Structure 1
Amino acid sequence: MIYIYSPVSEDLVKDGEEFTSIVDKADEPVEVGDLVSMGGDRQWRVMATESYTSESGVICLALVIPDSEEVPDASQWTHNILRDGEQLSFCVYRSEAGTVTYGWMMHGSVPGGKLTAYEPTEHPTLMKPGPDEWSIDAVETFVPEVESPVFDHVYVAKLSKLEPVAA
Structure 2
Amino acid sequence: MSLPDIDHLLATLEQQLNHYLQHHGISNPLLIGIRTGGVWIAEELQRRLSLSGDMGVLDISFYRDDFTRKGLHPQVKGSQLPDSIEDRDIILIDDVIKSGRTIRAAMNELFDYGRPARIALVTLLDVGQRELPVQPDVCAHSMALASKQVIKLSGPEPLLLTVS
Query: Structure 1 or 2: larger strand share?
Result: 1
Tell me which structure has the larger Cα radius of gyration. 1
TM-score with structure 2 setting the length: 0.26
TM-score with structure 1 setting the length: 0.25
Higher RCO, 1 vs 2 (CA within 8 Å, ≥6 residues apart):
2
